[in-house]
Chain A
Amino acid sequence: MTEPASSLAAARPEAGGGSPVDGESESLLCRWLATVLGAELDEASLERYRQGEAAPFLDYLRDAHGITDEVERLQEALSRLVMFTTPRLELAADFTELFLADARSGAPPYASLHAGDKQGFHGKAAERMEARLAAAGYAVRRDVAEPADHLAVMLDYLATRLQILAEAKAPDREGWRQDLEAFVEHELCSWLPRLVTRSAGVTTASDFYPALLALLEAYCRRLVEELRPA
């Protein structure tokens, strides 16, 4: 482990053992969330969802994190996709409406656009994320062509941190835990509620993505709680 240096210096290994978080599982969960929020579903993926293959993720969120209402809402949204003759296109249009079209009219998945009055891409939140990524030896893939404060990028970053937490040994583990707690609380939970509110104001054909955002918000709140020492 080479960073974050400042939090490492203050690491309290004895506290790390108090967190119930299983970094490896959470990391996988975050990678799934980053995937589903990073791009539209293709036909094959959609079919897998309709076949219930996302169940392990949803079961885990419900059983391991106690998130029930939001999980049920997402399951309901999935079950209702049968109403559409072209569900992939409708979901893609929802995805566009929420995340891709003019950022003022949807629920743009960028932290910078929810940070305050002066809204614009590549704001302070993006700069903080860029610094985090650079310090960790990462950058956003060039072909992705998104700022570092895109929600999916942040979730992908979170997945890498959770994996490191899983592999960390005392005394480093507490430092990683603290850093993770701060990241989820200050960089994600700080704007996810606004994103969820914005998504609720957008008319979509399916509730899939609004439900997913609500689930994500609930998950992040739970994760912060669980990252805190018992």
Chain B
Amino acid sequence: MTISRRSFLKGAMAGSAASLVGPGLLTSTAAAAAGVTEQGVWKTAGSHWGAMNALVKGGKVAEVKPFGADQYPTEMLNGIKGLIYNPSRIRYPMVRLEWLKNRHNGDRTTRGDNRFVRLTWDAALDLFHEELERVQTEYGPWALYAGATGWRQTGQMHSCGNHMQRAVAMHGHFVKKVGDYSTGAGQVILPYVLGSTEVYSQGTSWPLILENSKTVVLWGNDLYKNLQVGWNCETHESYAYLEQLKARVAEGSIRVISVDPVRTKTQKYLGCEQLYVNPMTDVAFMLGMAHTLYNEALYSQAFIDAYALGFDDFIAYVQGEAEDGVAKTPEWAAEICGVSAEDIRDFARLLAADRTQLLFGWAIQRQQHGEQPYWMGAVLATMLGQIGLPGGGISYGHHYSSIGVPSSGASAPGAFPRNVDAGKTPVHNNTDFQGAASTIPVARWIDCLLNPGDTIQYNGAEVTFPDVRMCVFSGCNPWHHHQDHNRMKQAFQRLETVVTVDYAWNATCRFSDLVLPACTQFERNDIDIYGTYSSRGVLAMHKLVDPLFHSRSDFDIFTDLCRRFGRDEEYRQGLDEMGWVKRLYDECREANKSFSPASGDGEASSPMPEFAEFWKEGYVDFGPGENWVRHADFRQAPEVNALGTPSGFIEVSSRKIARYGYDDCRAYPTWMEKAERSHGGPNSDRYPLWLQSVHPDKRLHSQMCESEELRATYAVQGREPIYMSPQDASERGIQGGDLVRVFNDRGQLLAGAVVSDDFPPGVVRIQEGAWYGPVGPEIGALDTYGDPNTLTLDVGSSRLAQAPSANTCIVEMERFEGEVPEVTAFGGPSVVEI
């Protein structure tokens, strides 16, 4: 029997088949007039990669241009559209199927390799709330870790870590973290030595360095690369000074020497000198220099007498009069660091000869014993006696945001609060962590998951790991930034529940149970500073387009979560998004009402107009700042302007640290062999290559790795590049463009070979932030894209800082043979047979 067209319709409409036809997806509107072309509108926005103006046309971002004040924009702005409209966007709330069926009793081994199901927002937030409730009531605050936060998207109102932590804190207490992955060792050791973290402090102004320094030392510092991104909406002011420094180098008025195993982007830009040192041996090199400075009487005894303590103990160690009985002569150092004894002496003499500015990067403290090179750098600067002088002393931050750019002195806008309001308590006000720590060193959280109940030493205290059962992440991708992913896989199998809020399907989402789609910063209104350290101005971050798909702002997500336990009004303090943006602006305006720009006539009048005018204009500029010298006040009056160290003086040796009794961080900076090291160090016979995982050139950590347009400019056969020397490539039969398997005992990955004279033998580079995508769920599975943290070592820097040691990592590599697996790093949840 056949069906006629008319009888089909009749039958379908009469029968229940019609009930299988849902309501239409379209709605009627007024028909658009033919031939009308929308011109679009330019709006102001911003990002870590740069402030910008964006043309919005037909509800889409059509074009992105650098903000007018940004004279040195980066090409990463070309990735903005690719980020907004990226196929990796999380479009709907999702839940892992196994977890939905069996919740915390389900099979956890499938986490990271399981199917997902879409949820409505209501259903998803109900589940989120139910899990918070379950964990707080069945266990307690010790079972919830919501401490991990990271490089969020820019914007003071929607700062995602603040939203997540405020909302979760309104429900109950939880385990938090201390420290971060960028400067974990530095920010713990330097308060003992120089009295503050230094790494995030404003530094001596660039004009004073350009005017006064005769020698500038870039120690493991590729600032031309790293200054491309900033914590707030970046306007790249530092580059004007780098351009001047380049001119000074060319004319010979300033000598710039980069101490680095690699020929860096900065070296090539400035046309400056390179001083090669073996990886992870900087402390030995510096001790050899200290030996020279001391024994040739090139150091400033007067400065030490006036401003420092503990020099005698340290110099006894240098002279071989300490326990180890080894003099740290240049000859001793040369054996370790690969720099000849005469070059060590010459370098020490050069630095002592005239005004020398030391500019340290962060990479050398991201290693085992990472406290030591920073401490030793401070000791060298102390011996040179130029701390507090313009163009002298030491900085640990000139490669970060706008450190070194003179500050206008204006106040920046505040932020949406991170904590519960004063006087308020959570729904579950249980503060009993059952003897475990409520705060753990951030880089030790995988240790914590794997070894609950264990006690570690940290910064003079004991930390007992809580038995964490649930984690919440928001705008934070630990599956990029934490070391040793195969170890992480094991740790995640212990967790009962993982909730992640993000905008793209990164590995952290794949290893979660509940995934909530946040919109990007271009899909909500916000406000931010531009010139993080220069306080150059305030930027309006206009919403360019509506949140894509079913994504929502962090504010909306967590307001609705709080509604489930009756705290939404308290959470948002009665304000909506624009109410908050206006409040932050108005409070900033009030704080700046007596501010007068440095270039102004000195009359006290805020340059900040009413909010409506600011929002229409898109920005307020505070004008250029004034020069400043770090630690000049201390130099001028050390008793009055004492440092924040225990003694108030520079502590070449620290009695406080000595009292801790740590054998991996002693009373003064010391050379200690690493667990593994290339160039003749431990285990280098098996794994002879040092893998450095520096900050990427064309991303912010893992942010924008998903942008195909940008990735196409650097990927090799669709993989993250591994940079290597011609010699290392040749010895292994590798040619540029080949796929390479890189491996050690911890894991293996695929990367694309780039052979370059910039790299010395024994040194390879894979930039951190490459997205993780293993071929399968098994421990040790090949990573298909090339995340270096598949291979890195997950140990604390020492008992003092317990910081990440990512740069203590040695590997071997080989040309990849066999069937090439597809890249899975940018896919959503993968599939298992059911």
Question: How many A-B pairs fall under 8 Å by CB?
Answer: 199
Q: Contacts A100-B91, A153-B25 given; indicate if A203 touches B85 (C-beta within 8 A).
A: no
- Is the pair B118, A137 in contact by a Cβ cutoff of 8 Å? no
Interface readout for A107-123 with B: 1 if CB under 8 Å, 0 if not? 01000010000111111
- Is the pair B88, A121 in contact by a Cβ cutoff of 8 Å? no
Chain A: interface residue count, which band?
Answer: 35 or more
Interface residues of A in 1-26 (CB under 8 A from B): 2-3, 5, 22, 24-25
- Is the pair B8, A100 in contact by a Cβ cutoff of 8 Å? no
| CB neighbours of B16 from chain A (8 A) | 48, 53
Smallest CB separation, B147 vs chain A (Å): 27
Interface readout for A193-209 with B: 1 if CB under 8 Å, 0 if not? 00000000011110000
**B830 interfacial contact with A, CB 8 Å:** yes
A40 to B732, CA, bound (A): 52
**A159 interfacial contact with B, CB 8 Å:** yes
**A97 interfacial contact with B, CB 8 Å:** yes
Determine the residue in chain A with the shortest Cβ distance to B31.
Answer: A137
- Is the pair A93, B25 in contact by a Cβ cutoff of 8 Å? no
Determine the residue in chain B with the shortest Cβ distance to A62.
Answer: B3
- Is the pair A102, B88 in contact by a Cβ cutoff of 8 Å? yes
A227 to B174, CA, bound (A): 64
A90 to B25, CA, bound (A): 25
Determine the residue in chain A with the shortest Cβ distance to B60.
Answer: A122
Smallest CB separation, B30 vs chain A (Å): 6
A152 to B505, CA, bound (A): 23
Contact of A64 among B8, B28, B32 (CB under 8 A): B8
A106 to B830, CA, bound (A): 9
Interface residues of B in 798-834 (CB under 8 A from A): 824, 826-834
| CB neighbours of B87 from chain A (8 A) | 102-104, 108, 113, 119-121
| CB neighbours of B11 from chain A (8 A) | 56
Interface readout for A55-68 with B: 1 if CB under 8 Å, 0 if not? 11101100110000
Interface readout for A37-52 with B: 1 if CB under 8 Å, 0 if not? 0111000010011000
Interface residues of B in 60-94 (CB under 8 A from A): 60, 81-82, 85-89, 91-92, 94
- Is the pair A101, B828 in contact by a Cβ cutoff of 8 Å? yes
- Is the pair B118, A100 in contact by a Cβ cutoff of 8 Å? yes
Q: Which one of A138-146, A178-186, A217-225 is at the interface?
A: A138-146
- Is the pair B15, A64 in contact by a Cβ cutoff of 8 Å? no
Q: Contacts A120-B81, A136-B31 given; indicate if A144 touches B828 (C-beta within 8 A).
A: no
Contact of B21 among A28, A93, A138 (CB under 8 A): A28
**A170 interfacial contact with B, CB 8 Å:** no
Interface residues of B in 32-65 (CB under 8 A from A): 32, 34, 58, 60
| CB neighbours of B827 from chain A (8 A) | 101-102, 104-105
**B252 interfacial contact with A, CB 8 Å:** no
A203 to B91, CA, bound (A): 21
Smallest CB separation, A202 vs chain B (Å): 7
**B249 interfacial contact with A, CB 8 Å:** no
Determine the residue in chain A with the shortest Cβ distance to B36.
Answer: A134
**B461 interfacial contact with A, CB 8 Å:** no
Q: Contacts A89-B97, A133-B26 given; indicate if A105 touches B828 (C-beta within 8 A).
A: yes
| CB neighbours of A139 from chain B (8 A) | 26-27, 29
Q: Contacts A60-B3, A120-B81, A134-B31 given; indicate if A24 touches B20 (C-beta within 8 A).
A: no
- Is the pair B505, A101 in contact by a Cβ cutoff of 8 Å? yes
Q: Contacts A35-B21, A137-B31 given; indicate if A100 touches B94 (C-beta within 8 A).
A: yes
A106 to B12, CA, bound (A): 32
- Is the pair B32, A135 in contact by a Cβ cutoff of 8 Å? yes
Contact of B30 among A123, A137, A202, A205 (CB under 8 A): A137
Contact of A56 among B17, B829, B831 (CB under 8 A): B17
A24 to B87, CA, bound (A): 36
**B549 interfacial contact with A, CB 8 Å:** yes
Interface readout for B1-19 with A: 1 if CB under 8 Å, 0 if not? 0111110110111011101
Interface residues of B in 102-118 (CB under 8 A from A): 115-118
Smallest CB separation, A15 vs chain B (Å): 20
**B548 interfacial contact with A, CB 8 Å:** yes
**A160 interfacial contact with B, CB 8 Å:** yes
A10 to B6, CA, bound (A): 30
- Is the pair A138, B831 in contact by a Cβ cutoff of 8 Å? no
**B708 interfacial contact with A, CB 8 Å:** yes
Determine the residue in chain B with the shortest Cβ distance to A136.
Answer: B31
**B242 interfacial contact with A, CB 8 Å:** no
A36 to B21, CA, bound (A): 8
- Is the pair A146, B88 in contact by a Cβ cutoff of 8 Å? no
- Is the pair B21, A120 in contact by a Cβ cutoff of 8 Å? no
Smallest CB separation, B119 vs chain A (Å): 10
7 residue pairs of the A-B complex, CB under 8 angstroms, read A32-B20, A32-B21, A34-B22, A56-B11, A56-B17, A59-B8, A141-B27
Interface residues of B (CB under 8 A from A): 2-6, 8-9, 11-13, 15-17, 19-22, 24-32, 34, 58, 60, 81-82, 85-89, 91-92, 94, 97, 100-101, 115-118, 505, 548-550, 708-709, 824, 826-834
Interface residues of A (CB under 8 A from B): 2-3, 5, 22, 24-25, 28, 31-32, 34-36, 38-40, 45, 48-49, 53-57, 59-60, 63-64, 86, 89-90, 92-93, 95-97, 100-106, 108, 113, 118-123, 127, 130-131, 133-142, 144-146, 150, 152-153, 156-157, 159-160, 202-205
Closest 5 CB pairs of A and B: A102-B828, A101-B828, A105-B827, A103-B87, A134-B32
